[in-house]
Amino acid sequence: MEQAIQSFINATNDFIWSKLLIVMLIAGGLYFTYKMRFMQFRLFKEMIRVIKHSTDSKPGSISPFQAFAISMAARVGTGNITGVAIAISLGGPGAVFWMWIIAIIGSASSFIESTLAQIYKVRDHHTGEFRGGPAYYMEQGLKKRWMGSLFAILITLSFGLVFNAVQSNTISVAFKNSFGIDRLTLGVIMAVCFAVIIFGGVKRIAKWSEWIVVVLAVAYVGTALFIVTVNITKLPEVLSLIVKSAFGLEQAFGGAIGAALMNGIKRGLFSNEAGMGSAPNAAATASTSHPAKQGLIQSLGVLIDTLVICTSTAFIILFTGAYQITGLDGIELTQAALGMQLGPWASDFLAIMILLFAFSTLLGNYYYGETNIEFLNSNRIWLWLYRGCVIFMVLFGSVTSVKLVWDMADLFMGLMAIVNLIAITLLSKIAFEALKDYTKQKKAGLDPVFKKDSIQGLQNVECWGESTDQN
C-alpha cells in the first residue's frame, strides 16, 4: 500500500514540478520584480527600517514583528537544515545557487501576497483578532469563494498535517541518530507538549515564536560563521563550486543542471515559502498602518531565510566535503558535517537545535491551518477535529520514512503554490497600487497610512476605513 502511494506521489510531483510550477514561480517572480522596479533591492533599507519600528501591538491584535515571527517560525526549520542537505545530496552544490535565485525573485512574490493579505483581512468573530490570507483575498478580491475554499483545504492539509509530519520526522531521526531515543516515544512527548501550547491561541503562538526563532537563528548562523571563519581560505573555492555546478561546468556534476535546478527550487520554496500562500496567513494578523509595511517585512523574511540561514547550512556541508560521503541524507548529512568540524558533540547540539527549530515550525504551521479552518467553517467542532488530526500527524511523522513525508510535502506544496500564484497574478495590480501609495507618502515625509479609497475601485475591504474617517 505504501509503495503504491509513493509511486502515485512521485508521478504527480514529476508532472507538477517539471512541467508547470517551475515556470510559474520564475515567470511570476520576474514579472512582479519588473513591475515593482526591483523593489527587493530598491527598498531593502526600508524593509530594515520598517521591521525595527514594528514591535508595538494594539489591544486585541499582534504586532507586525510578531506576525513576522510566526511566518519565520514556519519558514525557519527543517527546510533550512534538512531541506538544504537533501537539495545538495540530490542536486549537487549547484542546487544552492538556484535556491538563491528563487529567493531573490520570490521576495517580490512574497510582497504581493502579504500585502494582499493585509488589504483583505477580516476580524475573527470569536476572538476579535485579525485573520486573512489567500483564501480571503480569493473570496473578496477575486469574488471566487470556491477558489478560496480549495486553497483553505490545501493549506490545512499541507501545513497542519503533512508539513508537521515532516517536522516531527526530522526531530525523531535526529534524536535517534544522536541519542538513540525511540522515535515513537519522542513523538508522544512532542504531541503532548504541542497540544498544551496550541490550546493557548495565536497570542501564545506569537509569544513563543517571537523569541524562539530569533535565538535559534542567531545561534545557528553564529555556528556557521565560526565554521566559515575557520575555513575562510576555502570560501572562493566553495563559491566557485556552487556556481559552476549550477550550470554543469563542474566536472563532477556535469550534466546535472536539471537536478540542481529542480532540487534548488523545490527546497528553496519549501524553506522560504515565497509565492506558496502560507506566510500571508501570518501577515494578515498584524495591526499596521499600511498593508505595504507587512509586505516589506515578509519580503525581508524570504531573503533572510534563504540567503542567510539556508546558506549557513550549505557552507557547513560544502566546507567539510560531507556531501561526498555516500549513504548520508537529510539531517544526518548536516549532523555529520558539523561533527567533522566541531567534534562529536556537535551532532548532539544540532539535534537539540533541530528540536527547537522544528517545534517552533509546528506552531507556525498549526496556525496556518487554524485560520483556514475558520474560513471554511466557523463551527468550533471543526477546529477541535483539526487539532486532533494535527496531533496525530505529529505522531505519524515521528515514525514514518523520511522519503514519504518529504514527497508528500512536495505534492501539497506544489498544489498550493499553483492556486496561489494564479490568484496573486490576477490581483497583483492592487498590490502594485498599494506600493505606489506607500512610496508616495514616504516621499512626502509621512508615516504611510492606508485607507480603502487609497486605491481607486477597491471593493470588499473590511478593516480599512475611508480617508474621511477621523480614526
Q: What is the mean pLDDT of each run of 10 residues along the chain (471 residues)?
A: 68 70 86 94 91 62 64 63 81 87 91 94 77 90 93 87 85 83 88 77 57 70 83 88 80 58 73 80 83 91 85 87 74 81 79 75 78 79 88 87 77 88 95 95 91 86 69 46
List own/partner pairs for 136-140 with CB under 8 A and 24 or more apart.
136/284, 136/375, 137/280, 137/423, 137/427, 138/423, 139/375, 140/460, 140/461, 140/462
Residue 250 lies in a domain: yes
The set of cell numbers assigned to 166 is: 515532516
The single residue listed with the C-alpha cell 517560525 is 73
Residue 82 lies in a domain: yes
The Cα-based distances of 342 to 227, 339, 352, 353 in angstroms read 8, 5, 15, 15
Residue 462 lies in a domain: no
Amino acid at 152: A
Give the pLDDT confidence score for residue 471 in this predicted structure.
46
Amino acid at 121: K
- 415: nearest Cα among 281, 277, 267: 277
- Residue 348, classed as helix, strand or coil, is helix
Residue 447 lies in a domain: no
* Dihedral over alpha carbons 51, 57, 60, 61 (to 10 degrees): 0
Handedness of CA 87, 88, 91, 95 (dihedral sign): positive
Give the pLDDT confidence score for residue 466 in this predicted structure.
65
CA atoms of 324 and 327, how far apart (whole Å): 9
DSSP H/E element including 458:
none
Give the pLDDT confidence score for residue 421 in this predicted structure.
94
Residue 47 lies in a domain: yes
Cβ 63 vs Cβ 56: under 8 Å:
yes
CA atoms of 217 and 133, how far apart (whole Å): 26
The set of cell numbers assigned to 131 is: 485573520
Give the pLDDT confidence score for residue 159 in this predicted structure.
81
Residue 442 lies in a domain: no
Range of the domain at 248: 9-437
The set of cell numbers assigned to 441 is: 507618502
Q: Give the max Cα distance, the chain.
A: 67
- 71: nearest Cα among 221, 272, 212, 268: 272
- Helix ranges, 54-133 (H): 64-75, 78, 84-91, 94-119
What is the DSSP secondary structure assignment for residue 234, as one 8-state letter?
Answer: G
Burial 420-437 (b: 16+ CB within 10 A, else e): bbbbbbebbebbbbbbeb
Structurally, how many domains does the chain consist of?
A: 1
Residue 453 lies in a domain: no
The domain that holds 240 is classified in CATH as 1.20.1740
- Helix ranges, 158-234 (H): 164-179, 183-198, 202-230
Task: Give helix 331-342 / helix 84-91 axis angle, nearest 10°.
Answer: 100
The Cα-based distances of 373 to 155, 344, 385, 466 in angstroms read 10, 44, 10, 30
Q: Which residues, in sequence order, are bridge partners of residue 62?
A: 286
